[in-house]
Amino acid sequence: MDRPTVERLVETKSLRTSQLKTQIKYATPSMHYNSDSDILMLMYVPPSVETVVHYIDKHVALLYDPETHQVVGFQIEAFQRSFLPQHASVESAWKLGDLGQELQDLGDLSAAFDDRKSQIARELTNITEYLIDPPHTPHPVPA
């Protein structure tokens, strides 16, 4: 299902990621996945904080603070259906089958889950930085 075209409130290049890069190093994001709608939301602010959704491609949106334009999270539609198959690094972090450690108790599971959320956040940041500013391909010089 295609989403209707929405006019952007700001240009993508005016969004700031400095706060996001700091939070990725020191904070654990909140994450919510809705399997019925296949939407993943990952945020570094509480859900009650006002954010603006800014799509950077068909499925990926940045969530940003409307006053500072700081990116504070991600919203990804068709997450398992379309996004994961195209992004192996996120897909491997999403799957719990290969945690690589033996879980002794609920504390271990909680720590492993927080680690995975942080890993997903780092991978999403790398992907969105690429989508915001893809590497420029040099054009061939005519002879």
- pLDDT, tens digit, 9 for 90 and up, residues 23-54: 888 888 888 999 999 999 999 999 899 999 99
Asked if the structure places residue 20 within a domain, the reply is yes
In this predicted model, what pLDDT tens digit does every residue of 81-116 receive, in sequence order?
999 999 888 887 787 665 566 667 777 777 777 788
Residue 140 has pLDDT above 80, yes or no: no
Task: Give the confidence band of 134 by pLDDT, cuts at 50, 70, 90.
Answer: low
Asked if the structure places residue 5 within a domain, the reply is no
Asked if the structure places residue 138 within a domain, the reply is no
Asked if the structure places residue 2 within a domain, the reply is no
Residue numbers of the domain that contains 33 = 12-132
Asked if the structure places residue 87 within a domain, the reply is yes
How many domains is the chain built from? Answer: 1
In this predicted model, what pLDDT tens digit does every residue of 72-82 receive, in sequence order?
999 999 999 99
Asked if the structure places residue 141 within a domain, the reply is no
Judge residue 78's burial from the number of C-beta atoms within 10 Å of its C-beta, 0-12 exposed, 13-18 middle, 19 or more buried: middle
Asked if the structure places residue 110 within a domain, the reply is yes
Asked if the structure places residue 88 within a domain, the reply is yes
Phi, psi at 34, each rounded to 5°: -105, 110
Contact 70, 20 (CB under 8 A): yes
